[in-house]
Amino acid sequence: MELTAALEAQDGLVCVVGAGGKKSTLYALADQLGRAVVTATVRIPIFDDHVAEVRVTEDPLAALAEVSDDAWPLGLVPERERTDRYRGYDPETVGAIAAAAPVGATLVKADGARVRELKAPGEREPQLPAATDVVVPIASVRVVGQPLTDEVVHRPERVAAITGLSIGEEIRPEHVGTVLASPEGGLKGVPEGATVIPLLNKVDDGEWEALAREIAAAIRGRADVPRVVLTKLIADEPLVAVVD
């Protein structure tokens, strides 16, 4: 099975949220799909090296209408906000992009995590279009065994509220699973009818896979998801296992 199939990302509107692998997931999916749009509803670091072409435009539908065959996968963003990042579109515009895309999937970064391994969303996150087909909440297994601090967790106080942990306490697999399965965590704001498929990244060897499977069991004990996907996104073959 390829990553695209495991995440049901062959077509439609696919949004990634969480921490520890969002951008890498988008790029791996775009590479496997070929014909895909990569975009965001939040800020996204410059990603020109991961797509055939990036078009910076306030009129993405016009850009889609004239895209050439050699421009896929295509990046669409409204503005280069700084030298190191693009601004994202509003969710309604991303929904329109997905509806207008001629083939393939529209792959969307829908929140930020400041390069942490785990997060819980803020009040205005995630920014999910109403037409979203698949939401992929992500966490890195490397957060297991780490203390709950802002060095490894984005918004640790929100993770503490979800899990019952105190700041500085050790994060265990059940805590990661609780965050990803929580309506205030990985399930926050999921549109009605969307499929949720959690992803656990940085599963680099058998030891980390065993921990990932513990997290997956915790997720499946708390949320109705079809499967949990385990990945090593830096590998040529990023899919490690599927827990269903």
pLDDT over threshold 90, residue 153: yes
The whole-number pLDDT of residue 82 equals 87
CA separation for the pair 6, 62 (Å, rounded): 32
The model's pLDDT over 12-63, given as tens digits with 9 standing for 90+, comes to: 999 999 999 999 999 999 999 999 999 999 999 999 999 999 999 999 999 9
CA separation for the pair 89, 208 (Å, rounded): 36
pLDDT over threshold 90, residue 1: no
> Among 78, 107, 101, 139, which Cα is nearest to 15's?
107
pLDDT over threshold 90, residue 191: yes
Region 4-14: mean pLDDT is 98
pLDDT over threshold 90, residue 102: no
Question: Which domains can be identified in the chain, with CATH numbers?
Answer: 3-33+106-243 (3.40.50)
> Among 34, 41, 28, which Cα is nearest to 11's?
34
pTM value is 0.97
The whole-number pLDDT of residue 98 equals 98
